Chains A and B, each alone.
Chain A
Amino acid sequence: MENEVKVKKGFSFTRAHLCFPYAIFLVFFVILPLILIVYYAFTSKSGRISFENFIWFFSSWASIKTLLISIGLSLLTTFICLLIAYPVAFILARMKSNKNVILLFLFIMPMWINFVLRAMAMKELLDLFGIITKYNYLSTVIGMVYDYLPFMVLPLFTTLSNLDKSYEEAASDLGANKVKVFTKITFPLSLAGVFSGITMVFLPCMTCYVISDTFGSGKVTIIGKFIEQWFGTGDNWHYGSVIAFILIVIMFISTLFTGGFSEDKNSRGTTL
């Protein structure tokens, strides 16, 4: 009895302690795995610390080419997504009636259908026109835009519809024309949504080889495929880890640029 009272005095359970289970889980299954990647990236097959994996990656034209192609494809896809999604989100955000809820829904819904099935749908359509086998890169970009477009629409819509319209009104009252209002007020104010959309599209594009494999007829290799090759048939975890490490660095850089992932604009659609 005495003992029990003592324990209670020394350690009283509060709501703050509810952090523990998830924190421990994260240490074991998020932090530790990343440390392991770093370990494999900086060691040789014999277990010594070395930079040979990095030297291997950056001295081979094949790997640099793959990295450049991945970045190029992702940039292009992200740009096209933005080009389509921005006007769409803008129009939806400015609609007065309740119609925009249904329309927004139509744009977001594909997000919740299995993305491989969606890729299959687009592939079958392109196959009918014979685009797939003739134009590998074109069909890959179409496939990527098709799969990632909803992820660009949602954050843009959220930002644009929450935008304080009084700034625009003030600008036009002060004599700015429509183009100027957009370039000087609306677009800068919506940058948070633009960045959020870019984070949702850019990195998955570079790494998710499901789409490039499906649409590229095996002729388009992106960096994700490269990792897969070294972990699978290549059987060199050190090489695979170096590529993963480079991707982690790219992730951190893009997080710095885009200011991280804000929880207020949950881009996977829970806000609906």
Chain B
Amino acid sequence: MKKAFSVFIITVALIFIYAPIILLLIFSFTSSRTMGVWSGFSFELYQNLVSKEQIRKIIIDTLILALLSATVSTVLGTVGAIGIFYNKKWLGKFTKTSSQIPVINAEIVTAISLALVFAVVSLGKSYVALLIGHIVLLTPFVVLSVLPRLKQMDGSTYEASLDLGATPTQALFKVVLPQIFPGIVSGFLLAITLSLDDYMITTYLRPTGFETISTYVFKALSKPRNSFLPEMRALSSVLFVIMVVVAVVLSFKKTKEKNR
């Protein structure tokens, strides 16, 4: 009885989460532009993702922005996390505390506060502003995923390497960095998904005419006529499948590590 109840709850919750996604998946394989209308099996929407210049540009722009901002954030956040971990004075505390602000603050507040700053220094809406905005948003999450690794690290290995003649820089690169590497990787991956996900920062800081998937889909949702909204069904399906593949690979790797 109790077990049946558990199965029921889990099943209903999963249906709630996946029904919309599966619906999109199904209707991405038809050429019909109206949702819920099936006009025969076709790959047209998928072909359009590649062949239509406008969609291709949006996807590529989104990806480049995500890769650029995630890379910078990962470097800045990793260095920052090491600094926070070893700086026991006020500066370390200050950095750690203010790093949490973009995490708990409403994204729109972060976005408009940055827009105000960039307006003052007349950088206005530019790619640089957009990039910095994304870095502001992503870096705290990199810090949050690197810091626990630093705490788990065996501190004596660093001292040992110094005793054995390594310079502090060498010790940092050859001893500390390899130990926190998994945290850096997961921070980087998280940063990419956060940048891909972002709507608010992008809206307020992007240069005119620049669109990411988020801003484009939001615009298309309010004005669906003549938009590429149907193609976005195909795009969602592709992203979904990529997610599943990455997930399976990662969990496979993890179970392998555990079994070792």
Contacts and interface: CB of A to CB of B under 8 A. Distances in A.
B83 A203 contact: no
Candidate in A30, A127, A128, A208 with the most chain B CB atoms within 10 angstroms: A30
Contacts of A228: 108
B141 interface: yes
Contacts of A88: 9-10, 13
Given A109-B243, A210-B218, A237-B116, A18 B19 contact: no
A121 B112 contact: no
B144 A263 contact: yes
Interface in B208-254: 213-214, 217-218, 221-222, 229, 232-233, 235-236, 239-240, 243-244, 247, 251
A128 B38 CA distance: 13
A176 to B, nearest CB: 18
A120 B237 CA distance: 12
Contact of B200 (A125, A199, A208): A208
Interface of B: 6, 9-10, 13-14, 16-21, 23-24, 27, 35-36, 76-77, 79-80, 82-84, 86-89, 91-92, 94-95, 98-110, 112-117, 120, 132, 135-136, 139, 141, 143-145, 147-148, 168, 172, 183, 186-187, 190, 193-194, 196-197, 199-200, 204, 213-214, 217-218, 221-222, 229, 232-233, 235-236, 239-240, 243-244, 247, 251, 255
Contact of A16 (B20, B83, B113): B83
Contacts of B135: 25, 29
Given A125-B20, A270-B186, A116 B199 contact: yes
Interface of A: 13-23, 25-34, 36-37, 40, 84, 87-88, 91-92, 98, 101-103, 105-107, 109-125, 127-128, 146, 149-150, 199, 203-204, 206-210, 213-214, 218, 224, 227-228, 231, 237, 240-241, 244, 247-248, 251, 255, 260-261, 263-264, 266, 268-270
A155 B95 CA distance: 24
A114 B239 CA distance: 9
Contacts of B229: 120
Contacts of B101: 30, 34
Given A32-B117, A102-B251, A213-B222, A121 B20 contact: yes
Given A15-B82, A114-B217, A231-B115, 20 more contacts: A16-B89, A18-B82, A18-B83, A18-B86, A18-B87, A25-B135, A26-B95, A30-B101, A30-B102, A36-B120, A84-B13, A105-B251, A107-B13, A109-B244, A121-B23, A214-B222, A244-B109, A248-B105, A260-B100, A263-B144
B105 to A, nearest CB: 6
Contacts, number: 259
Nearest to A217: B222
Give 5 closest A-B pairs by Cβ, nearest first: A22-B80, A19-B83, A33-B113, A18-B83, A121-B20
B17 A208 contact: no
A19 B232 contact: no
Given A15-B86, A122-B20, A124-B24, A115 B187 contact: no
19 contacts: A13-B168, A15-B86, A16-B89, A19-B95, A20-B83, A23-B91, A26-B98, A88-B10, A91-B6, A114-B213, A116-B214, A117-B232, A121-B20, A121-B23, A124-B233, A244-B109, A251-B109, A261-B104, A263-B148
Chain A interface SS verdict (over half): helix
Nearest to A25: B76
A18 to B, nearest CB: 4
Nearest to A215: B221
Given A248-B109, A261-B100, A21 B87 contact: no
